[in-house]
Amino acid sequence: MSKYVKDLVAKEIAGRLEGVDDALLVNVVGLDANKTVVLRKQLREKNIGLMSVKNSMAKRATAGTPLAAAFEGIEGTVAMVWGGEDFISLTKEIVALDKSKEFAQFEARGGVMDGERLTSDRVKEISRWPNREEQLSLLVGQILSPGANLVSQLLAPGGALASQIEKKAEESES
């Protein structure tokens, strides 16, 4: 392939990855065509993009971007995945696919998050973090907790007084 054609391919790849700052690298070698179609469909439903790309082309296309760190020291064929609700959700999905028996040859190989290169072990570790939705629910719970405690403290004396009045009323009726 001539240098001109390589530059055109690299520009096309760079255009597809425009605006992408975090991505994962996965191994899809060994998946037959039918399983690849099923895998791509599952990922598309979750708004996750998958692109198989030659390492040298990917390095050329991502040079000078935050994604460049992902390809440092990578050997063999890899595919890039990006998208999803947030990066943590992406890692959770990829690790789940890595563990699934349906796609036995699929494996997480690394990636990049905030310009930092990730190993496959680090990707698995990140997948255990709470995603954006879980973080928001934790935050809302923490925000509402003092209010709930205050309400229970304010209502407790009134409830105790009401039960005492009810007890006295029952005693006077007897």
Model pLDDT, residue 47 = 92
Neighbours of 89 (CB within 10 A): 19
Model pLDDT, residue 174 = 67
- pLDDT digit string (tens) for 77-130? 889 999 888 899 999 999 999 888 888 888 888 899 988 899 889 989 988 888
- pLDDT digit string (tens) for 12-54? 988 888 888 899 999 888 888 888 899 999 999 999 999 988 8
Would you list the domain boundaries of the chain? Answer: 3-129, 131-174
Considering only the top CATH level, what class is 3-129? alpha beta
The DSSP call for residue 123 is H
- pLDDT digit string (tens) for 57-70? 888 888 888 888 88
**Do you know the residue count of the chain?**
174
Neighbours of 100 (CB within 10 A): 12
